[in-house]
Protein backbone atom coordinates (compact mmCIF):
# COMPACT_ATOMS: atom_id res chain seq x y z
CA UNK A 1 0.00 0.00 0.00
CA UNK A 2 1.27 3.48 -0.84
CA UNK A 3 0.07 6.85 0.40
CA UNK A 4 -0.25 8.78 -2.85
CA UNK A 5 -1.95 12.04 -1.99
CA UNK A 6 -3.42 14.38 0.55
CA UNK A 7 -6.54 16.28 -0.52
CA UNK A 8 -7.56 19.66 0.83
CA UNK A 9 -11.18 20.73 0.45
CA UNK A 10 -11.52 24.48 0.00
CA UNK A 11 -14.15 27.03 -0.90
CA UNK A 12 -11.64 28.81 -3.19
CA UNK A 13 -9.68 26.33 -5.29
CA UNK A 14 -7.92 28.94 -7.45
CA UNK A 15 -6.66 30.89 -4.42
CA UNK A 16 -5.33 27.82 -2.62
CA UNK A 17 -3.75 26.36 -5.76
CA UNK A 18 -2.00 29.68 -6.45
CA UNK A 19 -0.73 29.73 -2.85
CA UNK A 20 0.75 26.22 -3.05
CA UNK A 21 2.22 26.80 -6.51
CA UNK A 22 4.03 29.88 -5.18
CA UNK A 23 5.05 28.28 -1.85
CA UNK A 24 6.36 25.04 -3.39
CA UNK A 25 7.41 26.10 -6.88
CA UNK A 26 5.41 23.15 -8.24
CA UNK A 27 2.92 23.88 -11.03
CA UNK A 28 -0.57 22.46 -10.64
CA UNK A 29 -2.29 20.20 -13.11
CA UNK A 30 -5.97 21.12 -13.38
CA UNK A 31 -8.57 18.40 -14.06
CA UNK A 32 -11.58 20.70 -13.66
CA UNK A 33 -12.20 24.11 -12.11
CA UNK A 34 -12.95 22.20 -8.89
CA UNK A 35 -9.87 19.96 -8.80
CA UNK A 36 -6.13 20.42 -9.23
CA UNK A 37 -3.04 18.48 -8.18
CA UNK A 38 0.55 19.43 -7.37
CA UNK A 39 2.80 16.43 -7.95
CA UNK A 40 5.99 16.78 -5.92
CA UNK A 41 7.50 13.50 -7.06
CA UNK A 42 7.20 12.00 -3.59
CA UNK A 43 3.46 12.54 -3.31
CA UNK A 44 0.63 14.64 -4.57
CA UNK A 45 -1.22 17.50 -2.94
CA UNK A 46 -4.75 17.53 -4.33
CA UNK A 47 -6.93 20.60 -3.92
CA UNK A 48 -10.66 20.25 -4.46
CA UNK A 49 -13.64 22.54 -4.18
CA UNK A 50 -16.62 22.06 -1.92
CA UNK A 51 -18.73 20.96 -4.91
CA UNK A 52 -16.70 17.71 -4.98
CA UNK A 53 -17.65 16.67 -1.43
CA UNK A 54 -21.11 15.26 -2.30
CA UNK A 55 -19.45 12.95 -4.84
CA UNK A 56 -17.98 11.08 -1.85
CA UNK A 57 -20.54 11.70 0.88
CA UNK A 58 -22.52 14.89 1.50
CA UNK A 59 -21.20 16.80 4.51
CA UNK A 60 -18.18 14.53 4.96
CA UNK A 61 -15.61 17.35 4.68
CA UNK A 62 -15.69 21.06 5.48
CA UNK A 63 -13.28 23.67 4.10
CA UNK A 64 -10.94 25.60 6.40
CA UNK A 65 -11.74 23.35 9.37
CA UNK A 66 -8.51 21.37 9.90
CA UNK A 67 -7.23 21.27 13.47
CA UNK A 68 -5.20 18.07 13.49
CA UNK A 69 -3.24 17.52 10.26
CA UNK A 70 0.07 19.11 9.26
CA UNK A 71 0.99 18.98 5.56
CA UNK A 72 4.75 18.40 5.33
CA UNK A 73 7.23 19.07 2.54
CA UNK A 74 10.91 18.08 2.52
CA UNK A 75 12.99 21.01 1.24
CA UNK A 76 16.73 21.39 0.58
CA UNK A 77 17.26 24.46 2.78
CA UNK A 78 14.45 25.49 5.11
CA UNK A 79 16.19 28.72 6.12
CA UNK A 80 16.48 29.83 2.49
CA UNK A 81 12.85 28.85 1.86
CA UNK A 82 11.81 30.87 4.90
CA UNK A 83 13.51 33.90 3.40
CA UNK A 84 11.73 33.31 0.09
CA UNK A 85 8.34 33.02 1.80
CA UNK A 86 8.75 36.09 4.02
CA UNK A 87 6.39 38.74 2.71
CA UNK A 88 4.26 36.10 0.96
CA UNK A 89 3.12 33.88 3.84
CA UNK A 90 1.05 35.94 6.25
CA UNK A 91 0.86 33.47 9.16
CA UNK A 92 4.15 31.95 10.31
CA UNK A 93 3.55 29.74 13.36
CA UNK A 94 7.28 29.46 14.06
CA UNK A 95 10.57 30.46 12.52
CA UNK A 96 12.95 27.70 11.40
CA UNK A 97 13.57 25.57 14.49
CA UNK A 98 15.60 22.41 14.94
CA UNK A 99 13.35 19.70 16.35
CA UNK A 100 14.48 16.95 18.76
CA UNK A 101 14.10 14.35 15.97
CA UNK A 102 16.67 16.12 13.80
CA UNK A 103 14.66 18.17 11.32
CA UNK A 104 14.86 21.93 10.99
CA UNK A 105 11.22 22.94 10.57
CA UNK A 106 9.28 26.00 9.45
CA UNK A 107 5.61 25.93 10.38
CA UNK A 108 3.04 28.26 8.80
CA UNK A 109 -0.62 28.36 7.80
CA UNK A 110 -2.02 28.38 4.29
CA UNK A 111 -4.88 30.78 3.42
CA UNK A 112 -7.46 28.26 4.71
CA UNK A 113 -5.62 27.92 8.04
CA UNK A 114 -4.11 24.48 7.37
CA UNK A 115 -0.77 23.92 9.04
CA UNK A 116 2.16 23.45 6.66
CA UNK A 117 5.63 22.30 7.68
CA UNK A 118 8.63 22.78 5.40
CA UNK A 119 11.57 20.89 6.85
CA UNK A 120 15.20 19.99 6.19
CA UNK A 121 16.94 17.09 7.95
CA UNK A 122 20.03 18.39 9.77
CA UNK A 123 21.28 15.63 12.08
CA UNK A 124 23.08 12.57 10.67
CA UNK A 125 20.17 10.25 11.59
CA UNK A 126 17.57 12.53 10.00
CA UNK A 127 19.71 13.05 6.89
CA UNK A 128 20.09 9.29 6.52
CA UNK A 129 16.34 8.76 6.97
CA UNK A 130 15.52 11.09 4.09
CA UNK A 131 18.49 10.32 1.83
CA UNK A 132 17.37 10.45 -1.79
The reported pLDDT for the residue numbered 131 is: 87
Q: What is the share, in percent, of the chain residues with pLDDT greater than 90?
A: 97
Across the range 69-94, mean pLDDT stands at 97
Domain ranges (residues) in the chain: 1-59, 66-132
Q: Which uninterrupted H or E stretch holds 93?
A: strand 92-98
CATH class of 66-132: alpha beta
Round to whole Å and give the CA distance between 128 and 120: 12
> What is the architecture, at CATH level 2, of domain 1-59?
Roll (3.10)
Distances, alpha carbon 31 to alpha carbons 28, 35, 36, 49, 128, in Å: 10, 6, 6, 12, 36
What does pTM read for this prediction? 0.95
pLDDT at residue 132 tops 90: no
The reported pLDDT for the residue numbered 20 is: 98
Across the range 71-88, mean pLDDT stands at 97
**What is the bridge-based pairing of β-strands 103-109 and 115-121?**
antiparallel
- At 83-119, the pLDDT tens digits run 999 999 999 999 999 999 999 999 999 999 999 999 9
Amino acid sequence: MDLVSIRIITSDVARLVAFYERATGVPATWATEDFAELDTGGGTLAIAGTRTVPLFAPGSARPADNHSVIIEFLVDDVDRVHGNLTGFVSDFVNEPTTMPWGNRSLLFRDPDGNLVNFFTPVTPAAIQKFAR
